[in-house]
Structure 1
Amino acid sequence: MTDIYLLNVAIADLLFVVSLPLIVHNELSEWPMGNTACKLLRGSYSVNLYSGMLLLACISTDRYIAIVQARRSFRLRSLQYSRVMCTIVWASAFLLSFPTFYFYSRYEPSHTLEAFMEDTMVNQTSEAHHYVCEFQFSDNSTAWMTKVAVPSTQLAVGFFLPLLIMVFCYTGVIITLMKARNFQRHKAVRVVLAVVAVFIICHLPYNVTLLFDTVNMFGEQTCEFSDVILTAKTVTQTIAYLHCCLNPVLYAFVGVKFRNHFRRIVQDLWCLGKRYIAPRRFSRVTSEIYMSARRSVDGSSDNGSSFTM
């Protein structure tokens, strides 16, 4: 069940990483592609944001059931149940991202054309187009509601809800682990604390900045204040993006079984490469090394503690 959640987290993070260069390009210069690509890019970013955060909450709930509610885990932790939960998470992410899909558009702001004319001292009759991929609204009331609803939903569902679930579940996990008589319990506790701490360190600054910006969005602001808020959002958002790169370390490579399987794959590839490079000289030696390596890895993987995260 945990593997199903981890697979979906990996998909969400990979889709986000693929779309990130285009988002950066749009922030630095004009949007080079069409309106459909604009909607898909911004919408997929929103879907990956919500799905990634909710899937991390599902993983914490799964670990809570497996360790704290161990007697019920056989009934609650099934592949069918995990597939249903992942389907609900992705469907909820698409539903929450509907405003992003709908209101993001490729258009040419009127003020950018005027500024371009003034800076370059070109003729007023020449055609200079600068397209952006941003929110576009037909009236002020829709703009006000959307610009408040989108970041508010992101704060509530994309940060505070997963944070509360993770704190509740991992608190119960830590209490259960401290009561257990196991030599690896302290290591497991440190892993749990690291997971929660990294989540808070990466996402709390950006969400606090986003909350402050949303509260003061429609108030009168000086240019210096707006620049400070924009810089703070850029820096803290970059830190929040870093969490996608840390997820494989926190949720995969800390596990004993995952490391053993990964080591086995590397050894299999190394042995296979040796056979292709020098098939005659290494044929028998490689086979012996391969079999001994598999025995050692298989033997060590069976001794992993059930508390290892």
Structure 2
Amino acid sequence: MESVTVTTVFPDYSSENYPDDGLCDLDPDPMDVITQTYIHSIICALGLIGNTLVITTYIFYKRTKTMTDVYLYNVAVADLIFVLALPFIIYNEQHSWSIGPVACKILRSAYSINLYSGMLLLACVSCDRYVAIVQARRSFGARSRTLIYSRLICSAIWLFAVALTLPTLVYTELFIEQNLGDETVSVMCQLSFSKNETAKLMKVVVPSLQMAIGFLLPLIVMVFCYSSIMYTLLKAQSSQRHKAVRVVLAVVAVFIVCHLPYNVALLIHTLSLFRERSCEAEKIKLHVLAISRSAAYLHCCLNPILYAFIGVTFRNHFWQIMLDIWCFSKKCIFHARSTRRTSDIRMSSDGSNNLTSFSA
């Protein structure tokens, strides 16, 4: 079997340099590209609708009343950022990145920011649930007073996620590659390095940071916190407490299921960097990476579904949003709102129908 030394470019893992006697065409199969485009389009549509509903619920209906609310609101924001970037990534991959180098850098950084911020925020959710349930007596009355700290923690996580994304932002460039066997040229948005030493370092550091800080560290925190929570719930035999953490536990479980295959595939790929390996084995590995990466993208649209079908409060608010949208389309929102026996409606002084505030 033909052996080649393949140097990959993270995060797309396309071919970059080959020895003269071992050329290997790692371009994806056109059918695979079309299939992934459809899958990513579905993820984008569902993620856009779901996360917009979550954010709308928190802003106008539910409000962020607890630390967990603040964290989950920021998770939805992180998912929405990536979902908005995904169609531009899909379009430019099909049209040789006609949007330009600046957009190339920003769009390729969107997933990294989403990964770091989303996973670390879910780790914070597990810590907050741990304090509220396992340390309930010690934390009684204190969590409401520390709501401001949750916003500071979220701000710190966002800054940390941006800092971890800087290598991707700095080194991502439009990369021109001559296709094998013909005279066509491919324009790709990938990490590009001027020095071989820098390339070797960053191709190990970037995926290692993603696996260690973006997955392994939050996973350890979640396993510890939720194991303690489950132990406490079993001793207390309280169904109400179980329901209180069920939605968060489901969200974390889905997040792990989505990201574990990609991180395992990424670890195997990183360990094989700069080693001689067969062309066929490399193609299979890149195919697995592409599939598992799509599964990782899937979490962006699964979190809102979990809120709708498991969280009773969120489900009620979602139905209320649908009713309000229906009322608005029928031009009766003013009448519907005026008949509610709540004090959450603030009408403008001139009697217009503009609704400035919603809460529940």
What TM-score do you get using the length of structure 1 for normalisation? 0.79
Residue 170 of structure 1 contacts residue 192 of structure 1 at CA under 8 Å; is this kept in 2?
A: no
How far 1:88 sits from its partner (Å)?
Answer: 0.8
Judge conservation of contact 2:122–2:252 (CA < 8 Å) in 1. no
Match of 1:75 in 2: 142
- Kindly tell me: are residues 134 and 268 of structure 1, through their superposed partners in 2, closer, same or farther at Cα, counting changes over 3 Å? closer
Deviation at 1:97, TM superposition (A): 0.5
1:205 matches 2:261: yes
Aligned to 2:175: 107
Contact in 1 for aligned 2:307/2:315 (Cα 8 Å): no
Listed as ranges, the gaps of 5+ residues in structure 2 are 1-66, 343-360
More strand by share: 2
Cα shift at 1:149: 0.2
Label 1:17 to 1:73 Cα distance change in 2 as closer, same or farther (>3 A).
Answer: farther
Moved more, 149-158 or 174-183: 174-183
1: distance between equivalents of 2:337 and 2:136?
41
* Residue of structure 2 aligned with 1:53, choices 115, 119, 125: 119
Against the structure 1 CA distance between its residues 220 and 287, is the aligned structure 2 distance closer, same or farther, given a 3 Å change threshold?
closer
Deviations 1:274-297 (A, max 9, x none): 5649x9xxx7xx799x659x8xxx
CA shift, 1:66, in A, is: 1.6
Whose radius of gyration is greater, 1 or 2?
Answer: 1
Q: Deviations over 1:63-109 (max 9, x none)?
A: 11122222315324522111110011001001101100100011323
Q: Following TM superposition, by how much is the alpha carbon of 1:36 offset from its aligned partner in structure 2, in angstroms?
A: 1.1
- The offset of 1:24, in angstroms, is 2.9
> In 1, are the aligned partners of 2:125 and 2:248 still within 8 Å (CA)?
no
Q: Counterpart in 1 of 2:204?
A: 148
Judging changes above 3 Å, is the alpha-carbon distance between structure 1 residues 41 and 272 closer, same or farther for their aligned structure 2 residues? closer
Please report how far the alpha carbon of residue 179 of structure 1 lies from its aligned counterpart in structure 2 after TM superposition.
2.2
Structure 1: segments with no counterpart, 5+ residues = 121-127, 295-309
Give the conservation status (yes or no) of the 8 Å contact 1:174–1:189: no
Q: Deviations over 1:175-212 (max 9, x none)?
A: 12222243445555765653443233211111000000
Number of residue equivalences: 274
Change over 3 Å in CA distance of 1:233–1:266 after alignment to 2: same
Give the secondary-structure state (helix, strand or coil) at the position aligned to 2:173: strand
Counterpart of 1:94?
A: 162
* Two-structure CA RMSD over aligned residues (Å): 2.7
Match of 1:169 in 2: 225
CA distance in 2, matches of 1:270, 1:88: 39
Helix, strand or coil for the counterpart of 2:96? coil
The correspondence for 1:19, drawn from 82, 85, 95, is 85
